Structure 1
Amino acid sequence: MESEKIKVAAVQMDCVLGDREANLRKAEKLVVQALKAGARLIVLPELFNTGYRVEERDVEMAETIPGPTVEWMQHLARKHSVYIAAAILEQSLSKGLVYDTAVLVGPEELLGTYRKTHLWDVESIRFTKGDAFPVFQTAVGNIGLQICYEVGFPEGARVLALQGADILLYPSAFGKARGYAWKIATRSRALENGAYVIAANRTGTEKEETEFGGGSCIVNPWGEVTAEASEENEVIVSEIDLREVVEQRRRLPYLRDMNRSLFAKLYG
């Protein structure tokens, strides 16, 4: 099998609460750093464009897709021939409903979206749940999307892997108080699915009470961390090789050996 190596990046950043323009300016500087390092796939945090604690402004700040933020992502992707993923507030066609939605764009087009299916705490009041697990076939690999809290739910990642995902992306605003869970879960989702995990997390504190944990990381299919962020605003870059996905899944054949009929009954 020929080499399928590419460089990927996770952007870790603090955000200005409720200021889309300031956040896009800041994010663009960090994306440029990733581009200069040769990254072809770049992941931004959850709600990076608005900040996370905008609950009283969710409807106001939610965007259509495409809309201002996705168009900004598409411009960068086309200009630099790269893939960019992030999670934003999505305005539903039904007025007043909002989704927490991950978006993937490529050099040519908007590839698609994933709406968060497992909502954390009061997110169940703020957002409407998604109900689909798409996998996107791209020139850099088959990509599956999850969002933040969902890193603790192995089912979503497993469904994506069984549908062909080689790379799992986690745009996140994960709290510092549960940093221990973040460390274990990001490594576990990679190992048990034989997939790369790229997890981009927030930093900073919002409304003097919600502190984000950082620790953005890139994890290989063996569960080994190949890059991890430690600064408030930082870009981490690592080379991935899809041959490792094949090798790991042959040596640790969890996907092959899973008793799918049993779980179909349990989850039916």
Structure 2
Amino acid sequence: MTLTVAAVAANFGRDLEENYAQIADLVAQARALGVRLLALPEAAIGGYLSSLGSHGDTLKNTTRSLPPAIRLDGPELKRVGEIAGDMVVVVGFCELADDGITRYNASAALDSTQIYGSYRKVHQPLGENMSYSAGDHYEAFDTPVGRLGLQICYDKAFPEAARSLALDGAEIIISISAWPAARTATAEDLQQDRWTYRHNLFDMSRALDNQVFWLASNQAGTFGSLRYVANAKVVDPGGNVLATTGLDAGLAIAEIDVAETFRAMRGGMFHLRDRRPDAYSIGVGEPAHA
């Protein structure tokens, strides 16, 4: 059975009404093309941080520029669900914990009936920990469009993150991002920028490592001091890019057949089956040359 999926490259800022309007427009475009699973970027509700590193946004040095913190059961996600209808939509946002203080860089997969699963970003780059607390686990979950796993941005640099989702049965991993160009020595052609290269290489590698379908969304344009590289894409379990937006905003759309592709690509060499965990020291101790 085939499934039409799409990953979005678009620019989202602080204005929630503008966010909802853009989400509605993207969902309408996707629905017209038969899309059943749509991946919006990291921080599609309320935008991402305006800067990173030593001058990054924090609760101590700013209030105006921080993304709005929302609850999983709040009206913001409910509104996105209403827009989604029967389409499964993955959306990024700043989650407010039950204590009313702790913030997480988060994502959720939902439609108009329910939230199927949510995720709090585990790996934090360039001082992001000044603004968000870190999540602590990965878990796949079932939806009407298959078993999904969620990641956010820098997570894709860590093979263990995608592997843990694949071992939990994820058929499609959705990696949402606010992935910028390099902060220094930025390439004139952003498609040749070293951070663009890494973004794309990680997407293809993690799909191939685990022989899963991979949807990578990303912010586009600029926000604060960050210049995003877009390059939303759909990657198959062989690491082949089926569709991409390149540097443009828009939808990367592909028709996939999970069962048939898994049968063909996992029929011989099946990476998850052929692992030798008894020979690995992965996850134990510190790097040899920290």
Give the TM-score, by structure 2 length: 0.85
Asked whether 1:219 is paired with 2:235, we answer yes
Which residue is equivalent to 1:125?
A: 130
Matches within 5 A, 1:59-78: 61-77=68-84
CA distance in 2, matches of 1:210, 1:23: 18
Which residue is equivalent to 2:27?
A: 31
Which residue is equivalent to 1:6?
A: 3
- Kindly report the root-mean-square deviation, in angstroms, between the aligned alpha carbons of the 2 structures: 1.7
Asked whether 1:152 is paired with 2:157, we answer yes
Which residue is equivalent to 2:287?
A: none
1:235 positional shift:
1.5
Which residue is equivalent to 1:237?
A: 253
Unaligned 5+ runs, structure 1:
none
1:254 positional shift:
1.1
Contact 2:233 2:241 in 1 (8 A): yes
Contact 1:215 1:229 in 2 (8 A): yes
SS in 2 for 1:255: coil
Contact 1:13 1:201 in 2 (8 A): yes
Contact 1:195 1:221 in 2 (8 A): yes
SS in 2 for 1:45: coil
Asked whether 1:166 is paired with 2:163, we answer no
Unaligned 5+ runs, structure 2:
51-56, 183-194, 285-290
Contact 2:67 2:94 in 1 (8 A): no
Asked whether 1:41 is paired with 2:42, we answer no
CA distance in 1, matches of 2:101, 2:199: 32
Q: Deviations over 1:43-92 (max 9, x none)?
A: 00000121112533477710011223311221123x3x110101110001
SS in 1 for 2:92: strand
Which residue is equivalent to 2:17?
A: 21
More helix by share: 1
Seq. identity, %: 30
In 2 relative to 1, CA 163–65 (structure 1 residues): closer, same or farther, beyond 3 Å? same
1:266 positional shift:
3.5
The one-letter amino acid of 1:170's match is S
Contact 1:5 1:240 in 2 (8 A): yes
Give the TM-score, by structure 1 length: 0.91
CA distance in 1, matches of 2:268, 2:10: 36
In 2 relative to 1, CA 102–221 (structure 1 residues): closer, same or farther, beyond 3 Å? same
CA distance in 2, matches of 1:185, 1:61: 29
